Amino acid sequence: MSLKGKVAIVTAGAMGIGRASALRLAADGADVVVMDKAESELQDTARAIEVLGRRALPITVDLLDRTATAAAFAHARAVFGPADILHNNAGQSARERMKPFWEADPEVWDFILDLNVGTAMFCSRQVVNDMRELRRGRIICTSSEAAYVGGSGATDYCTSKAGILGFVRSLAVEMAPFGVTVNAVLPGVTRTRMMDKMSKDYLAPIIQSIPMGQICEPEDVAHVVSFYASEGARLVTGTGLLVNGGRVMA
């Protein structure tokens, strides 16, 4: 799945799934722009990309700042040229602010919806005109198995991840005549820094709920991103692939 000569942009690329995706795309031959707020981790990811022999461009940016985001994409284009691949990976749950819907703070759900869906839409807007003109491109969005199941205290998160699927399908239809594909990857429970803080007693029932008995690693998701980015997936568009060991099936 060679991506030699391609330019990839990964948002929220400093850690976790974003970092794994950036490194996998680089290993496959792409030069990678990584965007994130976490400057120290971002620089570390950029150095790891360069160790793989590819060019890296780390850009520290708050993706909720539309003006700064537009400037970041313009800078990436000026340095590396038009993007061939965009992985929209920014997102999170409400975390410690999770509440039942009847108690949820509208400001919190506005934040979650904007971060999880709004940034994917806005970042995609920054690359679609070049992709249309060049008649090539890959847009990949991180959704979640939560798009298919409800979660107590996570109405905003589940709604946002389902919204990603609607966005992917609609944009896939619009971009198909230009040879551009748009797809989603839907991770299940994934090993991240947050998970490292969880006790074995807390994790045990979660692992038991996974038919394959294994928690998803960021690299498992990155493999799917790499496939979607490849020429082998040229006719795969508007889809969402679950990576969760069978915990949720759709």
The CATH number assigned to the domain holding 120 equals 3.40.50.720
Structural domain contains residue 125: yes
Q: Where are the alpha helices (DSSP H) in 52-94?
A: 66-80
User: Which residues, including other chains, have CB under 8 Å from residue 144's CB and lie 6 or more apart?
Assistant: 91, 157, 161, 186, 187, 188
Taking 90 as the threshold, does the pLDDT of residue 93 lie above it? no
Which is catalytic among the residues 148, 157, 202, 228?
157
Q: How many domains does the chain have?
A: 1
Structural domain contains residue 198: no
Name the nearest CA neighbour of 89 among 32, 154, 164, 27: 164
Per-residue pLDDT, averaged over 146-151, amounts to 90
Helix (H), strand (E) at residue 241: strand 240-243
d(C-alpha 104, C-alpha 185), whole Å = 28
Domain that holds residue 178: 7-189+218-238
Structural domain contains residue 195: no
Condensed to tens digits (0 to 9), the pLDDT of residues 100-115 reads 989 999 999 999 999 9
Q: 1: pLDDT confidence band, cut at 50, 70 and 90?
A: low
Condensed to tens digits (0 to 9), the pLDDT of residues 157-194 reads 999 999 999 999 999 999 999 999 999 999 998 888 76
pLDDT of residue 15: 96
Active site residue 148: no
